[in-house]
Structure formats: C-alpha cells, structure tokens
Structure 1
Amino acid sequence: MSTPSTVDRALRAALYDTADASLDTAASLLAADPGADAELTGRGVGFVAAAWARGWQPADVVRLVRRELDDVHLHLVAELVRAQARDDRPRGPRWAAQLDDLPDRGAHPAPRTDRFSHATAVLELYRLLLRLPALESLDEHRSEPRAGSRSEPRAGHRTLARIRALLAKAEATGYPEEAEALSAKAQELMARHSIDEALLSAHAPAPDTPAACRIGVEPPYEQAKAVLLDAVADANHCRAVWNEAFGFSTVVGFEADLEAVELLYTSLLVQAEAAMTKAEAAQRAGGRKRTKTFRQSFLAAYAHRVGTRLHAAAAAPVSEDLLPVLATREVAVVGRVERMFPETTTTRMRGVTDAAGWTAGTDAADRARVRSRRPLS
C-alpha cells in the first residue's frame, strides 16, 4: 500500500475541514516540502477543469474569487486557468476572450510571500474551487457555422466594432447633441445588424440556434443593475436571468443580439454612473449629504425609466415578411430559457425610499442616449 503524498495529506487536512487549525497544519506540510509544488499545481489545474465540467467559465471563476478572496488568490487562479487552457479543447470566441481578459501577471504582479503564506493562499483558493456548485451549461445547442458564409462573420465584426466606437464616443463627449447623434447611429446599426443576422439564419441550410452568455452584475446596488440588464435584454430579443448569489445574469439570445445587449448595458451603466455623480454633487451643493438610499433610489429609477424607453424603442414596426422570422426566434429563445431555468422566482426591489434620488434617476434616464429604432424593412 503506497504512502500518501504530502499533497494528499495536506488536501485531506485542509479541504474537507474548514477550521483554521486544519488549514495551518496543511500549509505547514506544504511549506516544508518544496518537492510537492508541481503536484500541488497539478491538483489546482484539475480543480479548474472540474469547474468547467460543472458549467463555470473563466470569467465566472475570476469574478467569484475577486468577490470572496484577495488579490493573491486572483493571481493564483489566473495562473491555474492559463495552465489548464494549454491542454484544453477549443471552446469558442467568448471563452478565448475571457482567457485574454484574465488578470495580467505583468501589469499587476502577485506580491512575494513566504512558503507558508503562499501554501495557505493556495489552499484557501482550492477550498473555494472544490465547493463550486453546478451551473447551467452555456454550451447546449451550439450552432455550426453556416455553409457558404465565410465573409459574414468578418462583416459582422466590422459592424460591431463601429457600434463600440460610436458608443465610446457618445460616453466621452461633453456635447449632448453630438452624443445624441452618435448614440442614435449606434442604435440604428444594432437594429440593422440584428435583422440582417435573423434573415441570414432563416435562409441558411442550418439555421442558428440561441446562445447564452453571463454578464457580471457587480456590487454595489446590483439589484438595480440587474433590472437594467433585464430591460436591455428584453428590448433586444433576449432574456436575462439573475443569479444574485454569484453576481451575474445569464442572457439567452442569438449571437448578434447578445453582442448588442453587452454593448448597450455597459454604455448605459457608464452614463448612469456619470449622471449619479453629477446628481450627488448637486445634492451636496444644496447642503444634503449623499446617502446609500439616494444612490439606490437613483439607480432603481434609472433602470425603471430606461426600461420603459427601451420597450418603446423595441415596439418599432417591421415589415410583414419579417414577423414570422422574429416570432420563430422569440420562441427559440424562450424555449432555451425554459430548458436552462425550469424554475425561476421574482424579487422585489429593496431600499428604494429616497424621493430625491428617484427623481434624479428618472431625469437622468430621460437624458440617457437611447433612441427609438427606425422602422425596419
């Protein structure tokens, strides 16, 4: 019978017993045995692969580690994800983008620690990875590239690049008229891109199927932000389901629409933060201190009002020949959501009690760069 390795003994002591004493014992074992380092890293790579098998993705894990642990753990998990990716199968452009967005070890190097402190941090990270629950798979019904459509993705990427550039300029300019014109053009491009993709898919030998992605809903005031994301998703032919415990919403829709949701949600958040800063400055000038309830009420009102405006924009008429195409895609999106989330609940907005915050948030939403789409033909 073989003798358990140092790593086996350390993990047995630390991972299944959450007491501090067991963690210290395990870290001491690892610190005293430099020869165990490679095996310890290999176990971490295995924990990462197990997280992928349970439906997690790199951005999800990074987001949770950032929320629950410290910078040293963030660097550790980024290195494990990179190590696992070297031997992993291709997982598509969204996954690759998440790998590219991992914390940069060069720009923000991990602080140097002694062997005991390092081993403690590793074990704390492994405890978190080991206890990750299963999430809904985002890989279901992945569609194959359309036959004869090599140039389509390139054209789509160019359109999305133009939309990103327009929204960035709208957020940065100090001239309302210029921002309005830039945002209106971005909205027009979003609508046209979505309809073009729908028509291409409808006439393809293998039509597209709905995809899904997760978008972080970061604290503070995440409930209001989740409401805003839900409104943006609904207006762009998608559905969003919020996971409050892990700080993200899963958005289901067709790829072109998912891109539009990510872009518009990010842009509206930037505009909301800028407007809230100005509103708070006005409150302070009037002798009132800024408060958490003011900010919560501001963002709740902003999300509510922007949702109303987006729903009005989404009601723009389309030509009759497009209606069956859009209806078919709507059914497909709803079906995918019901398969992924057979049980969902609704929640009530909390902490919305500041009348001044609500009024300021509503006014800011009315000034946000959201324009009705022109009729589509």
Structure 2
Amino acid sequence: MPEEDALLARVRKLLAKAEDPAVTEAEAEAYNTKAAELIARYGIDQAMLAARAEFADEVTSMRIDVENPYSRDKAQLVTCIAEPLRCRTVLARASQRVHWVTVFGFRSDLLRIELLFTSLLLQAGTQLGRASGGGTAQSVAAYRRSWLQGFALAVFHRLKGAEEKAVAEHDGGSGSAELVLRDRKAVVEAAYQEEFGALRMARRRRLTGSGFSDGRAAGERADLGTTGVTGKRGGLLNR
C-alpha cells in the first residue's frame, strides 16, 4: 500500500473510534484532533512530493453543488474549508441563492476539500438537529443560519491551526515546506486571478439569529478527517 494510502487508512481507523458511542467526549475529541493532524500532514507530504517531481499534482478547479435551504451558508462552509488549504473559491449566485461553488487549487488539496465538506455538512445537520432554536419558522431559520456561520468559522480556525502545526513539525526550523506551500498558494492565486480576477467580493452578511455560539462549539467538536463519503449530503439541512 502506498504511504499516503496507509496514512489515510490510519485516519479512517481513528475516526471510527471517535464515532463509537461508547467512547467519552474527551476520548472522541482526542481521536478527531489526531485525525485532523494526519489529514494536514497528508497535504504537506503531497506538496513536498510534487515539489520534487515525485508526484504529479496540478492546479485545476472543482465544482461543488450546494442546495437550498441555507445554500449561502453551505457555500460559506466550502470557503472556510478551502482557504486554510490554500485554495480559492467562487460562488455562482442568483439573488440570495448559491447554486454551486467553484474551487481552485492543487488536485490533492481539492480531494481533501471535497471529503471534508461532505463529512462536515452531514455532521452539521446532525448537530443542528440536537440544538434548540426559536419558536417560529422565521426565528428557527435565523438561528440555523447563525449556527452554521459559527460552525464554519470554528472549522476554519481548526483547519488553519492543523495546517500550521503540520508545516512546523515537517520543517523543524528549515522552512522548506513553508516555502513550497507559499509557492503553491501563489500558483493557485495566479490561476484564480486569470479566470476570475475581475470579480468583486461579496458584501459581508449580517445575521440576526442567536445560534452562532452553539454552532461554533459544534464546529470545534467536529470530525475534520472523515473519508467515509456517502451520496447524501446534509440530512436536516436539506429540509
């Protein structure tokens, strides 16, 4: 088995343990944290292999479809996963509806993004189903939107921290991985600017719901490395 496949196999085993209802919350968090670290290390390893021409990696794009309800919030989750992995996103919007997200990045990073988004969207649906919300349809929707914003922000910070830790551990002061990743980020940025450089940034949303803190706490507990992808996304979030 190639080394990268063996590493991802370790991730699957860790996450299977974390998902076992018999383990404590502290044990599950430890398993999930280790899985996130291994996923980050996988990304660094692939980047270094590509830099030495031992692995064929290239900048390309990937389309991730998002569905209503909460399509804008699902799109934000894609972006919060993509940015720490040095990728760029473009949202295909019509009024308040997002139809899909185009992600620019190296192929190995796009693989990680797709796996993480599918898993995290399912986790968000499960966690949100357990959370309390407002009493009316209007307040429930507002609560869920703000909850999802908090969830996505927590995921962003956790992935960013895992990536930074993986770089530091790989380099040990040499700075080699940091330089390689900086160059890869510049290549992605150039590809993005060539195709979408004229686009304007969307205005920041102002959400009124009270679910941000609950969503952020759920995002801090979320599994950041599940690779058991199913064909169904979102659960509660598709209703």
Report the TM range for the smaller structure's normalisation. 0.7 to 0.9
Alignment-derived partner of residue 216 in structure 2: 362
8 Å CA contact 1:237–1:330 kept in 2: the answer is: yes
Answer yes or no: is 1:329 the counterpart of 2:207: no
In the TM superposition, what whole-angstrom CA distance separates every residue of 1:133-158 from its partner, at most 9, and x where no partner exists? xxxxxxxxxxxxxxxxxx8xx54445
Amino acid at match of 1:344: L
Classify the secondary structure of the residue corresponding to 2:202.
coil
Structure whose alpha-carbon radius of gyration is higher: 1
After TM superposition, give the deviation of residue 185 of structure 1 in Å.
2.9
> What are structure 1's unaligned runs of at least 5 residues?
1-150, 372-377
How has the CA–CA distance of structure 1 residues 365 and 174 changed in structure 2, closer, same or farther, with 3 Å as cutoff?
farther
After TM superposition, give the deviation of residue 314 of structure 1 in Å.
3.3
Identity of aligned residues (%): 37
Alignment-derived partner of residue 235 in structure 2: none
How has the CA–CA distance of structure 1 residues 214 and 275 changed in structure 2, closer, same or farther, with 3 Å as cutoff?
same
8 Å CA contact 1:193–1:256 kept in 2: the answer is: no
Distance 1:301 1:263 in 2: 20
What TM-score, normalized to structure 1?
0.50
8 Å CA contact 1:237–1:253 kept in 2: the answer is: yes
Answer yes or no: is 1:314 the counterpart of 2:168: no
The number of equivalent residue pairs is: 213
8 Å CA contact 1:240–1:252 kept in 2: the answer is: yes
Amino acid at match of 2:124: A
How has the CA–CA distance of structure 1 residues 189 and 205 changed in structure 2, closer, same or farther, with 3 Å as cutoff?
closer
Alignment-derived partner of residue 59 in structure 2: 210
Q: How does 1:1-377 map to 2 (within 5 A)?
A: 154-164=2-12, 166-167=14-15, 170-171=18-19, 173=21, 175=23, 176-204=25-53, 208-245=57-94, 247-280=99-132, 283=133, 288-289=135-136, 291-316=140-165, 317-318=167-168, 319=171, 320-348=175-203, 350=205, 352-355=207-210, 357-369=211-223
In the TM superposition, what whole-angstrom CA distance separates every residue of 1:315-354 from its partner, at most 9, and x where no partner exists? 3352212222112111111111112223223224557212
Distance 1:168 1:348 in 2: 40
Classify the secondary structure of the residue corresponding to 1:250.
strand
Higher strand residue share: 2
8 Å CA contact 2:85–2:109 kept in 1: the answer is: yes
Distance 2:193 2:85 in 1: 18
Distance 1:206 1:264 in 2: 22
Distance 2:61 2:9 in 1: 21
- Give the aligned CA root-mean-square deviation in angstroms: 2.9
After TM superposition, give the deviation of residue 234 of structure 1 in Å.
0.9
In the TM superposition, what whole-angstrom CA distance separates every residue of 1:180-203 from its partner, at most 9, and x where no partner exists? 233223222212221211111111
Distance 2:116 2:213 in 1: 23
Distance 1:266 1:259 in 2: 11
Distance 1:300 1:189 in 2: 26
Classify the secondary structure of the residue corresponding to 2:131.
helix
After TM superposition, give the deviation of residue 276 of structure 1 in Å.
0.8
How has the CA–CA distance of structure 1 residues 315 and 158 changed in structure 2, closer, same or farther, with 3 Å as cutoff?
closer
Alignment-derived partner of residue 228 in structure 2: none
Amino acid at match of 1:264: L
Say which structure, 1 or 2, has more relative contact order (CA 8 Å, 6+ apart): 2
Distance 2:8 2:60 in 1: 17
